[in-house]
Amino acid sequence: MASVTYEHVDKKFGDNHVLKDLNIAITDKEFLVLVGPSGCGKSTALRCLAGLEEISSGRVLIGDRDVTNVAPKDRDIAMVFQSYALYPHMSVYDNMAFGLKLRKTPKSEIDRRVKEAAEILGITHLLQRKPKQLSGGQRQRVAVGRAIVREPSVFLFDEPLSNLDAKLRVQTRAEISKLHQRLKTTFIYVTHDQVEAMTMATRIAVMKDGVLQQLDSPQALYDRPSNIFVAGFIGSPSMNFFDAKVVAADKTVVIDTGAFAVTVPQEKAAPYLSSVGKQVVLGIRPEDIHDPSYAPPGIHQAAVDAAVEVTELMGNEVILYLRSGDKSYVARVDPRNRARVGDKLQVAMNLDNMHLFNRETEAAIR
């Protein structure tokens, strides 16, 4: 088992600066997820760790060992790719055993590892089948099994669920989480899907344009995003943002968006006093905008008049697309809400969970 460290890692493809001074320390047995939009550098960071890309500067360590210039086969890692990359003419057993055969591992040891991995993944009954006889989910499990038999110090996953349908993605991500708990090995997982990241990770590294934006636990990213990008990326539907101005009125702090104004709870006002008179961005998550009839008790509410533009009835919740003045936003309300398109209503914004950001730097105002 091993920790993984990126020390001031830079990666350039010609003039394209893909990774910029990346510093991440991943502890032994941790499940770290690298997440971000396409082109943010997350897959490149994984490939640099695997040795499939040469870094431009900096160091990569596995445990205390500097592997920056070590060949991929000698790094004690195993990688699962987005494409299954199975040999079509080989059985499942032979696909899983192939890497071990190349390493001249004894036959008895190969047999033990393959059968153990197959049992862990629930594919023992598939060992004699060919890949064309398997479903997408079964093929992905074979690809994971091929990594497991290596018994590496670090597992790398590069968007392994992208080719699966929605239901199978949910099932397979649960299986990967259980696999991590069972193997007790370091997992590093790349995805663009923030739901995958939130449900699987011990910690999440959010990336944008090759720069690490924030590294923290899923709940901390949700509750205390460091900037507008992280706030908007984590959470579904994403956070609502309103250009606003901080004003002082009768010894209280008010956030005025032009379309509506909210009074900051007294106990939360202190951090915002230095922003009075300044332009800011107000952030409110859809789940913190309630139908007043079903709002949680004990919260500081701000009543806002709104018009309903679109409704999405999800069964367990209702998504409302609302407009107040020139501001459009999304609310995630109780399923008992009966609002229809064109209705005028009042919503309750939970100010205990509001966020404020500097409009110029986009950093959170704490």
Q: Judge whether residue 292 has pLDDT over 90.
A: yes
Give dist(CA 366, CA 76) in Å, integer: 42
Residue 28 has a pLDDT of: 95
Domains and their CATH numbers in the chain: 4-233 (3.40.50.300), 240-358 (2.40.50.140)
Give dist(CA 189, CA 138) in Å, integer: 19
Query: Quick one: average pLDDT of 44-69?
Result: 95
Query: Quick one: average pLDDT of 130-159?
Result: 90
Residue 320 has a pLDDT of: 97
Q: Which of 156-170, 214-228, 290-304, 311-325 is least confident? A: 156-170
Residue with tokens 């360590």: 61
**What whole-number percentage of the chain has pLDDT above 70?**
100
Residue 85 has a pLDDT of: 82
Contacts of 352 (CB under 8 A, 6+ apart): 265, 268, 299, 300
Asked whether the beta carbons of 315 and 359 are under 8 A apart, the reply is no
Q: Judge whether residue 1 has pLDDT over 80.
A: no
Measure CA of the first residue to CA of the last residue in the chain; give whole Å: 38
Residue 20 has a pLDDT of: 96
Binned at pLDDT 50, 70 and 90, residue 216 comes out as very high
Q: Judge whether residue 222 has pLDDT over 70.
A: yes
Convert the pLDDT of each residue in 87-133 to its tens digit.
999 999 999 999 899 889 999 999 999 999 998 888 999 999 999 99
Query: Which helix H or strand E contains 135, and what residues bound it?
Result: none
Torsion, CA 179, CA 183, CA 184, CA 186, rounded to 10? -80
Give dist(CA 38, CA 223) in Å, integer: 24
Residue with tokens 């696909």: 95
Q: Do strands 77-80 and 65-66 pair parallel, antiparallel, or not at all (unpaired)? A: unpaired
Task: Please state the length of the chain.
Answer: 366
Give dist(CA 292, CA 213) in Å, integer: 35
Convert the pLDDT of each residue in 158-212 to its tens digit.
998 887 788 888 888 888 898 899 889 999 999 999 999 999 999 999 999 999 9
Convert the pLDDT of each residue in 306-351 to its tens digit.
999 999 999 999 999 999 999 999 999 999 999 999 999 999 999 9
Contacts of 308 (CB under 8 A, 6+ apart): 320, 321, 322, 339, 340, 341, 342, 343, 344, 345
Residue whose C-alpha is closest to residue 61's, from 115, 23, 104: 23
For residue 131, the number of C-alpha atoms closer than 13 Å in the C-beta half-sphere is 17
Report the 10 Å Cβ neighbour count for 243.
12
Q: Which residues of 108-124 are buried (b: 16+ CB within 10 A; e: fewer)?
A: eebeebbeebbebbebe
Strand partners, 60: 6
Q: What is the overall mean pLDDT for the chain?
A: 93
Query: Quick one: average pLDDT of 79-85?
Result: 84
What is the sign of the dihedral through the CA atoms of 3, 9, 11 and 17? positive
Stated pTM of the model: 0.90
Give dist(CA 33, CA 10) in Å, integer: 19
